[in-house]
Structure 1
C-alpha cells in the first residue's frame, strides 16, 4: 500500500481489497461443525503479510523481533507451519521501477523485506512471494506501466531471483486498467522466469489478484481469465479472489467465488468462466476490534464452513478437476492502523493453524493442479 497511511486511507485499503459484496441469493453453506468432504485438499493455504507497519515494510527488523510477533505462522502448536505460503505486502511498483533508495526503500524494495525474513519462512518449507501494488499504490502502478512496463517486469524478475521468491500482481485499477502495458510487464517477467508447472522454481511463480467476485476489477478479471489463467496455455500460475467485504459470511464468500467459476456471459464483452484449479478464495483473519473465528476458532470459521465447497466445487466451462486451489488470509501482523492484528495474544494457531491440520495442508506446498 502507499506510504503509511492515516486512518481513512487504511479503511479504504480494507474496503477496496474486499470488493463489493454480491447481492442476491447465495449458495447455502454447510454447518460450521460439518466435516469437510474434499475432492481436493487445499494446495494453497497462505497469508498475506503486512509486517509491523501496516503493509509498508519500511524498517529492517531482527529475526528475533520478527519471530516474537509471527511465530504462529511457522508453528501451529506442534512444530509445523500454519501456512504453506506467505505473501509479503506490498512493494511500490514505481519505486521498484526507478530503483528508489530512501529511508524506507532500498533499490526499489522495502527495507523490511530482507533475505533473513524470506529465509525465516523458506527454511521451514513455507513458500514466499512479494506482492507488488495494493489499493494504495494503484496510481503508482498506472505511472510505472506508462513509464516502462517491460523494465518493471525485468526488475521484478531480478528481485525474485535475488530473494528466491515469487511475485504477485496486485493492480487494483477498476476503471481503466492499462492492460496492454500489464501484458508487457508479464511478457518481460516470463522471458526471464518461464512458467513452471512443477512449482520447483520459486521465482517462476507469478500470480494476480482479482476481486472477490466478477463485479469489480471487471476489465482486469476479464483479461486475466481469458488470456493468462487458461489451463491449456497458462501464463500466470493462478489468481487470488480477494476478501469479501465485512461482515463476511460463508454464503457471501461462496457466492463470490462461484461468480468466477461461472463467468459473466451477460456482460459485454462477457467474462469467461475460470477453472476452479486456477484460483484461491480470500478470507479476513484480522479486522476490527476483536479476534475473528477465522483466526482463533477453526470450528466456527469461514474456512471450515466453506471447506467442502472449496474442495469439491465443479468446473462450469473451464478446467476439468473439481475444487479451488485453496485459501488466502488477510492479513498477518499489522494490516491496519486501528483494530487488532495477529500479534500475541491474538495469534492464529487456533483458526488458521487448526485448519491446516484439519484440511491436511501440505508443507512444503505441493505442485499445483494444472487443470
Structure 2
C-alpha cells in the first residue's frame, strides 16, 4: 500500500469517472493527465475521492461491492504520482441505501468498508446525506476503526484515512456535524469535508459564512468550535462556477487566502469527470493555478 501524499494541506477532487459516478467502466490513465501534472511536474490534487460506492452493496458483498471501473492499476497509477486515493460511500442518490444498510447491520457495514480500504489500499469517506440513522453511523465508525485504527505517523497508508462529509454549514445535516465533533475529539476520523451548497458561491463572503459555523461552533446545536486542521471546505469546480477556467479574482482565490489565513486543512472540489453523460468537468487551469498557490512544492 502506498504512503499518503503530504496531506498537511488537502487539495482534493471528488471524481465521478465518465459515467455519472457509477464506475461501471474504467477510464484510461490519460483521463487524469491534468490532475497528475498541473504544468510544473507536480500533481494538481494531492487527493482523489472516487464517488460512489452503494452502502447496501458494501454490506452484502464486501470488497465485491467496488465497481469494476475502480481498478487497482488506476489507483496505483495515481498513488505512484503522489496522489492519495479514497472511496466515497453513499452520496445524495444513495441516502436511503445508507439508512437501509445501517438499519440492518452497522457493525458489519463498517468492517466491510475497512476490508475494502485494506484490499484496495485506499481511504474511506462517509457521504451520508440523511439524518434518519446518524446514531447508527457511530457504530459504523467504531467498527471501521476496530479494523483500521487511526494512524497519524509518517508511515501511515491511505487506508488509514477516514473522513466524514457534513453540510456546507451546520444548519444542514446538523446531527452529522454533532457526531463528527465527537469522532474528531475521540480521534476516530481525520477531518470533515464541509460540502458544497446548492449552487456555486457568488463571493468568498457567501462561502465563509457557512464555513465559520464549523470553526466557531454552533451553540444552539451544541456543536463545539472545530480545530482548523480538521476542516476541509468545498467548492464547485464547474456547474456554473468560474473556478475551473480562471483563478485570478475567483472565489477559489479567495478560498485559498481564507484557508491560509485560518490555517484550515484545505479545499475539495465537486467534481471531476462526468456527473452525467452531458455534464463533465475536466482540464481546469483555474484549479491548477489554485493548487500552485496552496500546495506548492
TM-score by length of 2: 0.92
The 5 A counterparts of 1:122-271 are 122-174=79-131, 176=132, 178-198=133-153, 200-225=156-181, 227-230=182-185, 233-248=186-201, 249-267=203-221, 270-271=222-223
C-alpha offsets along residues 52-93 of structure 1, whole Å, 9 cap, x if unaligned?
0111111234xxx341x3210101112211010000000001
SS of residue in 1 equivalent to 2:85: strand
Equivalent residue, structure 2, for 1:352? 287
- Check whether the contact 2:235–2:270 (CA below 8 A) recurs between aligned residues: yes
Q: CA RMSD in A?
A: 1.8
Q: Among residues 97, 113, 121, which one is paired with 2:78 in the alignment?
A: 121
The number of equivalent residue pairs is 289
- Check whether the contact 1:152–1:185 (CA below 8 A) recurs between aligned residues: yes
C-alpha offsets along residues 20-64 of structure 1, whole Å, 9 cap, x if unaligned?
xxxxxxxxxxxxxxxxxxxxx971001000110111111234xxx
- Check whether the contact 2:161–2:190 (CA below 8 A) recurs between aligned residues: yes
SS of residue in 2 equivalent to 1:299: coil
Displacement of 1:359 in angstroms is 2.3
Q: Among residues 24, 31, 36, which one is paired with 1:74 in the alignment?
A: 36
Equivalent residue, structure 2, for 1:24? none
SS of residue in 1 equivalent to 2:276: coil
Structure 1 gaps of 5+ residues are 1-40, 101-105, 314-322, 363-371
Displacement of 1:357 in angstroms is 1.2
The yes-or-no answer on 1:89 pairing with 2:29 is no
- Check whether the contact 2:101–2:109 (CA below 8 A) recurs between aligned residues: yes
SS of residue in 1 equivalent to 2:248: helix
* Higher helix fraction (1 or 2): 2
Q: Among residues 288, 291, 295, which one is paired with 2:244 in the alignment?
A: 295
CA distance in 2, matches of 1:129, 1:272: 27
Q: Which has the larger radius of gyration?
A: 1
Which sits farther off after the overlay, 151-160 or 246-255? Answer: 246-255
- Check whether the contact 1:70–1:333 (CA below 8 A) recurs between aligned residues: no
Equivalent residue, structure 1, for 2:3? none
Displacement of 1:338 in angstroms is 4.1
CA distance in 2, matches of 1:360, 1:167: 22
Q: Among residues 233, 257, 264, which one is paired with 1:281 in the alignment?
A: 233
The yes-or-no answer on 1:49 pairing with 2:49 is no
Equivalent residue, structure 2, for 1:319? none
The 5 A counterparts of 1:285-324 are 285-288=237-240, 292-313=241-262, 323-324=263-264
C-alpha offsets along residues 242-265 of structure 1, whole Å, 9 cap, x if unaligned?
013324131111111001111211
CA distance in 1, matches of 2:196, 2:260: 18
- Check whether the contact 2:9–2:294 (CA below 8 A) recurs between aligned residues: no
Q: Relative to 1, partners in 2 of residues 1:165 and 1:131: Cα closer, same or farther, differing over 3 Å?
A: same
Equivalent residue, structure 1, for 2:281? 342
Displacement of 1:310 in angstroms is 1.3
* Higher strand fraction (1 or 2): 2
- Check whether the contact 1:293–1:301 (CA below 8 A) recurs between aligned residues: yes
Equivalent residue, structure 1, for 2:69? 112
CA distance in 2, matches of 1:361, 1:235: 29
